[in-house]
Copies of this chain bind each other. A is one copy, B any other.
Amino acid sequence: MDTLVSEPGLGTKTRSNNRRAAILDAAAYRFRRQGYSATTMREVASDADMLAGSMYYHFSSKDALLLAVHQEGVRRIADNVDHALAASEKADPWTRLEMALTAHLESLLDRGDYAQVVIRDLPADNDELRAELIALRDSYEQRFRQLTNALPLNDPEKARWVRLMIMGAANWSRTWYRPEGATPSEIARHFVTLIKGDT
């Protein structure tokens, strides 16, 4: 089996990169809504105005395509969170957590497809790919480990439960989120306030 290594991509606006980006967009769109294995290469190709065979010039396999979507998804969501963290560098730990959570939720709920593919379940049949996707997600979540560890809590073990609870609730929000309802920033505020305790 081929290696899955993938590359920078999406930087310069050459014609080649535009086509590659179109395929990625289409794949993210389909993977988000149908899941990975229910999506066919022909559907992705059709959305990107190509024929199925043509995509193999840009991506060596369907697995490689999923990996590329994950990489781009993690990059986007991490960039959003890092930006929020840089902007709130001097704020207190609870505020910083709320800001990061808002950025996380915005990536997931508003900006859409790529981030949600990262959240959805992983394919079970390819161990190499699976390990790579998990590593990607872990590297991102490291940010929230640091944020919860910085909270002023009496029990250090408590930080872990705060993280598991907040991240779980946040990642699950895609199942009940409606654009006409609470905004990502409001959701983040509610979640953090409930944990922090003072209403």
Name A's B-contacting residues (CB within 8 A): 33-38, 120-121, 123-125, 154-155, 158, 161-162, 164-173, 175-176, 190-191, 194-195, 197, 199
Q: Which residue of B lies closest to A165 (CB)?
A: B169
Task: Indicate how many identical chains form the complex.
Answer: 2
What is the CA–CA distance of A138 and B164 in the complex, to the nearest angstrom?
24
Task: List the B side residues contacting A190 at CB < 8 Å.
Answer: 161, 165
What is the CA–CA distance of A167 and B166 in the complex, to the nearest angstrom?
11
Please give the distance in Å from A106's CB to the nearest CB on chain B. 17
A-B interface, 6 closest residue pairs, ranked by CB to CB distance from nearest? A168-B172, A168-B169, A37-B38, A197-B197, A165-B169, A161-B190
Known pairs A120-B121, A158-B194, A167-B172. 15 more at Cβ < 8 A?
Answer: A33-B124, A37-B37, A37-B38, A38-B125, A154-B199, A161-B190, A161-B194, A165-B191, A168-B168, A168-B170, A171-B172, A172-B172, A194-B195, A195-B195, A197-B197
Task: List the B side residues contacting A171 at CB < 8 Å.
Answer: 168, 172
Which residue, of A37, A169, A171, A197, has the highest number of chain B Cβ atoms within 10 A?
A169
Which residue, of A124, A158, A165, has the highest number of chain B Cβ atoms within 10 A?
A165
What is the CA–CA distance of A123 and B33 in the complex, to the nearest angstrom?
9
Which residue, of A37, A170, A175, has the highest number of chain B Cβ atoms within 10 A?
A175
Q: Which residue of B lies closest to A193 (CB)?
A: B161
What is the CA–CA distance of A168 and B174 in the complex, to the nearest angstrom?
10
Task: List the B side residues contacting A38 at CB < 8 Å.
Answer: 36-37, 123-125
Q: Which residue of B lies closest to A30 (CB)?
A: B124
Please give the distance in Å from A50's CB to the nearest CB on chain B. 22
Q: Which residue of B lies closest to A189 (CB)?
A: B161
Say which residue of B36, B158, B165, B199 sits within 8 Å of A199 (CB atoms): B158
